[in-house]
Structure 1
Amino acid sequence: MMRSKGSLRRFGVFSLAGILLLSSNPVIPDHVSAEPDASSKLIINEVYGGGGKESKDGSVKAPYKNDFIELYNSTNEDVALDEFTLTYTNSKGDTVQTFQFTDGQVIKANDYFLLRGEATLGDEGDKGFGDVFAADAYYDTPNAGIGMSDEKGNVELKKNETVIDALSYGEPDTIKGEGSPITGITFDTSVRRINFTDTNNNSADFEVVTPSPTMSGYTEGDVELIELTKIADIKTQAKLIGQHVTVEGQVSAANVKASADGSMLYTYIQDDSGALNAIGLDAKKGQRVQLTGMVQEVNGEISLLIEQVIVLDESEADVPVASVSSNEALALEGYQVSVTGDVTAKTENTLTLNNELSVYFDSTVGLTANIEEGQSVTVTGVMAPNQQGQLNLVVSSMDDLAVNEEEKIPNTVELEKIAGYSTGLM
């Protein structure tokens, strides 16, 4: 991984307890606890919502691909974050998105905690420009995603139902922040606190700056960059064989056996460009992961031999399923697909659809005894190669097989009876 260093800011951090100790016999006011709750002192330090964008004329591009929210703990105590949430509310106030911290996540004393957000892709003006950076936590996932506006919005840090800190930026119609909003932000800038100042007035406490996503253990301006490789490039560029790469994506299938005579188990990860067999990956279907490993080719199959795994989202989110023809499925290794077709051949644990696509049922999943040739079925599963290297549609549950009932057309006699009943002649 690469590290990009920017200019450093000098600052001082003072605590009320430290000031009181200047007296040999300190007197603690009634309204100040001798042991203040450090969790109430956490602050939202920097917010960036323009990840991945470019200007309409293409002359200005976002410095980073992802949005981010940076917290800071200005106390001398570590704070567990398991009771905390981050909430983003859009300008109109009709969209509220929440990130829930998990057990084990801690913000250290006098340190940062960086959350990497959504990478804006595909839409006009959202082309995925900018560098990718490492973070302490990730909220760019289907289950925990927060899509922030680069122009105006609100971010709140809460402990249970209590708002610990809040920021409004731009000129949102709905204001959740403290005092007046900080204005002047653009898609290539962020808003950051001025030396951790917190006077409960966003316009006075924040300034518009060049984004600087700082994670725990780093100094302001020291950004840990990640060079990601697209899965499509791994599978098509021979020069990457034997090279070490890093990819990010969702686990589309885990420990799949693709044929009765095969011993290979396949675990696939997919990004927005393709899917890849990740050898040695111990993860569950639906989880989002960042993988580092060596690209290898064995018997013509490209795979990634895993060396390092970072779980971006432990939740087992739904994996997108592509509804395709039996012929189209043959080009989608590693993808979850749904195919409807006629059963043209069968064995104890396989079906053939439309004379071209083999569907494999492991004996631990179920057998095909109740399926007849000529029936129309819809099957959902992952595309993976059998022992001979041919792609099968592998079914992980008999619930993923449905027999399509053909609509019965009444014969002439039945139609006459129906007509008779309707006219009262029978």
Structure 2
Amino acid sequence: MFTTSRASRRGLALVAGLSVAASGLALGAAAPAGAASTGLVISEVYGGGGNAGATYTNDYIELYNPTSAPISVAGMSVQYRSSAGTAAATGVTALSGSVPAGGHYLVQEAAGTGGTTPLPTPDATGTVAMSGTAFTVWLATGTTALNPTADGSTTRTGIVDLVGVNSNTFETAKAAGTANATSASRTAGDTDDNAADFAVGAPNPQNAGTVTPPDDPDPTEATIAEIQGTGDASPLVGQAVTTEGVVTAAYPTGGFSGFYLETPGTPDTPGASDGVFVYGSAATAQVEIGDSVEVTGDVSEYQGTTEITGVGADDVAVLPESLGTVTPLTVPWSDLDTPAEKESHEGELVAPQGDFTVTDNYDTNYYASFTLASGDTPLVQPTDVADAQDTAAIAAISAENAAKAVTLDDGQSVNFNSAANKGTPLPWLSKTNPVRVGSAVSFHEPVILEYRNSLWNFQPTSPVTDSGADVATFTNTRTAAPEDVGGDIRLATFNVLNYFPTTGEEYVASGQGSCTYYDDRAGNHITDNTCGTEASPGPRGAATEESLARQQAKIVSAINDLGASIVSLEEIENSVKLGQDRDAGVSTLVDALNTAAGAGTWAFAPSPAAADLPPTEEQDVIRTAFIYKPADVVLVGGSKVLTGSAAFADAREPLAQGFKATGAPDSDAFAVIVNHFKSKGSGVDDGTGQGNANPDRVAQAHALSDFADGFADDLGTDKIFLTGDFNSYTQEDPLQVLYGDGYVDLQTQFNGGETTYNFDGLAGSLDHVLANSAAEAMVTGTDVWQINAEESIAFEYSRYNYNATDFYEPDPYRASDHDPEVVGLDLPAIKAPSTVTATAVPQVAIAKLTPVGLVVKVTSAAGTPTGSVTVGWEGHTKQVRLVRGYATTLVGPFTQAGLQPVTVTYAGTDAIAPSSQTVNVRVIKLF
């Protein structure tokens, strides 16, 4: 049986253990029983009409009605877009009339100059000139031109069915390309996989006069368990059935258009579920939770879920006598550790048992859903905890992740990020209920265990339109500041998410180039989408001064609350690429920090001279930088950028700087080198599960290690810290290179378990502070201040006014998408200077005959020096104890005539620095 396509949703890459986002505009697998649907599908598409080699004179789009009743298409349309299109439809053809039961509906489009055979009499006529080889078409509920990939997401509100022919937009996978003499025709049911559902062959247009009425056998009486069966699919697929049960969940609004039915009592059918979904909006309007009902409809499988479909108002009857009540299943999630175990309880009412923790809240801003992990920790990125080359360990972690994962949904298929729904308040989230990754979940009422969007879900029994506190509550794990890491100062690293003081609008106004933007629901520009060109990129941050102020307020709050003396920054504007001084961006940030913290609190490390930088055309539009507090530390020498390295042709070159405590000697300097390796989003995939461009990052790690050694030698220190966004999880190959060269990951060494990044529900660290052994000896503790990666994107400045609920606050939470890491450092004590004064009495001695007296005085502002001094002359030394800062002794006799130096050295104490003085004694010979 054909089943209509419905709203799609972003899926998790948990099972495969992916660590890289897929690119492109492909619509993911469509959601099951949910969005507005008519039952219609697109059954054939043909764009070669009238072209060379074509038989038919016109292009066409054909619809099919798989149901047993006519379906009206009044007010609907078919829409067309090119295979590379990303905007709204470029062709819309309005429909009228209806599609007969089991029949077709032919939409004639533009004619070419060739062809010999006209189409059968069309049921609707348009003028769209379709491509003969590649395109996207869809059936829409209205006549307004829609964009299936609007807002950068796979929103499909108002789209009933979609076919992508060798296109960038499709369901699951694109259908093969056609030619002038071939069409793409549906070969079987609708699995929402264009590649599987369509085949290329000779065109066969059919209009409303071509009807193949579906069979309408008498329904079979069956229990819910018999309908579900003990396998992946129902043994009664395609058959009409009558069954009865108790309504456990109902979704009359929100797009699901159905209800769950379950056999009363405690689920006890071995291997088969006692619950099933009933699809039909008219039927759902007739029932309430707790009703005992009888239902008649057709059994179908939709993306692995057994459903009773085609249920109208007359196909459901509320029974006069109750069948009883349903007892929720109370099996711990860990006991349902295989797909078969979960399948045996699909559609049943469950009371979740054991601990659950939020592991992903990205989809919260779109579909008001969370991914949960059973247990008290989020799911982990496999290569963050196991060597990426250990394929067995990686597979085991991926399998464990898949077994632990379950989605908590909101009982709706609404995409709150689409233009049509941004005015509807987002459920669950609020400023006081941020629902973070890591939040513990407490369930307060049973939910439905269901399979939807190729994921296992906990579905509330009715749509959640408020805080959902009656269904589940979440702990608030926000902290006001990092943990105490000890030490004299803190070293931190922070990716500031494309902080560009040059806004998109300023860039355009200056005449440097053009921009496209992401807008809020009122049409105001919020962030830059694309500015400039690939060869000459422009800004990529806030679009307007107002948006920049919101972004900057969050970053300033986060940095000032870090309590750090040195912060290495990543993803900050490289202003030289925008025709300004290279340090203009970081200077603007420092000004904002000082406005908030007090004048002079912060300064930045100036860039090297232009001659010591890569050519401007080779630099990226984002860069790394250092900011610091002059009251705590000062710069030692100038900064240095790695130049001339082919390894960094596609990434930001490392930036090195020496630091020491304010007032300390240069000999106390230590080196910090900030990095931003090549991202995982582009480049060659080496097949190791470490994302794209892994070989590039490995080469960059080797080059960094050599650069660090050279810089430290020039600085005169053996203490080296490597900081930044390495775009490498903790156990991946690039970090293994650095471990092999003597560096340790400080977060792993001192405080394992906290991570800086979350992708597709998997927690891991892309940001690191590494240290060689000499630098590690300075470390007193580490902390990841988890203020960003754990937060819903709804709180980010870039989503300001995206939803009717105002989530923005000028606080540190979701200032970026990476968490900052903080390291405590003990610095060498700064000693007070001392002065040695030595006087020879007399100042003349006779060689080989007379010694001289020496009077020594040692002073210091820190108090009276104690200990001893060392006196040296002509290869002799002696220790003389200080008494109240004074010492006296004899030196000589001297063996050689002339001015002979006598050196007095004070070794110092914990509080007083060493010092020395040399006096000359005149030595004469008598014979």
TM above 0.5, yes or no, is no
TM-score by length of 1: 0.37
Which protein shows a greater Rg?
Answer: 2
Q: Which structure: greater strand fraction? A: 1
TM-score by length of 2: 0.17
